[in-house]
Structure 1
């Protein structure tokens, strides 16, 4: 595994930046190792929901985990508001960095991740293969 640190600036779209960054990598598989920072807007798809919920305010990133591939990511995030209330779900585009997002990403050069429609779930799920 190759470990790469990444810092996103205020105003960056967290999901969009991760997708764009992964698209430029030679590796075709990655994962989030750690993430800290804050958001001013969080767009989360909550469990069982079909649409994103928009949360506005000063939000601390408590956790961010998931897989990265060139054709999309599957990321879950939990955030706390200024009262300490926590909410989590799928990270959607439009989640904006407030002060910083400090990420540590693991790239897996021996593997290839891709998103494939799974007829059982109806979602683009993780396809895994070894690289030649």
Structure 2
């Protein structure tokens, strides 16, 4: 297990209608030279989401782009300059939910109120892991 002790700073923000959440968070991290960011909380609404659903035993990945109105019930994950690993749970108009790995296209409908945390004593990087075939999080102590 990789772990480091760190203080936390938070960045409350609001994304406006039409903004794409994942790319906006990555851009914010790059512009502000943040090295170990994570989503503390997020609420708002979306008009579109592209999600990858849980991987089956056969290794097939189901990715769907959904275009409808959603309430953001939960958004969690890590963000660094190398990319982001985000999972979302979204509420639909009939009260059911859909959830999965955020591929992209989280397009804001009315608002996305996000609190982004930063672990000040840590550095996050994403490195390809041949065993999972994904870029996985590497946590190191910030020097």
TM-score normalised according to structure 1 size: 0.95
Q: 1:7 — aligned with what?
A: 14
Between the two proteins, the alignment pairs up a number of residues equal to 132
Partner of 1:62: 73
**Could you tell me which residue of structure 1 aligns to residue 117 of structure 2?**
106
- Aligned pairs (5 A) from 1:35-54: 35-48=42-55, 50-54=61-65
In the aligned structure 2, how far is the partner of 1:95 from the partner of 1:64? 11
Please identify, of 76-85 and 24-33, the stretch whose mean Cα deviation from structure 2 is larger.
24-33
2:126 aligned with 1:115, yes or no?
yes
CA distance in 2, matches of 1:109, 1:127: 15
TM-score, L = length of structure 2: 0.88
What residue is the counterpart of 1:81 in the other structure? 92
Deviates more, 1:59-68 or 1:89-98: 89-98
CA deviation string 1:53-93 (max 9, x = no partner):
11111100000000111110100000011001101001122
Gaps of 5+ in 2: 1-7
> Following TM superposition, where does structure 1 have runs of at least 4 consecutive aligned residues deviating by more than 2 angstroms?
49-52
The equivalent of 1:22 in structure 2 is 29
Q: Secondary structure at the match of 1:22?
A: helix
Match of 1:97 in 2: 108
Distance of 1:15 and 1:21 partners within structure 2: 10
Cα deviations by residue, 1:92-112 (Å, 9 ceiling, x for unpaired): 222200000000011112110
Following TM superposition, by how much is the alpha carbon of 1:39 offset from its aligned partner in structure 2, in angstroms?
0.3
CA RMSD across the alignment: 1.1
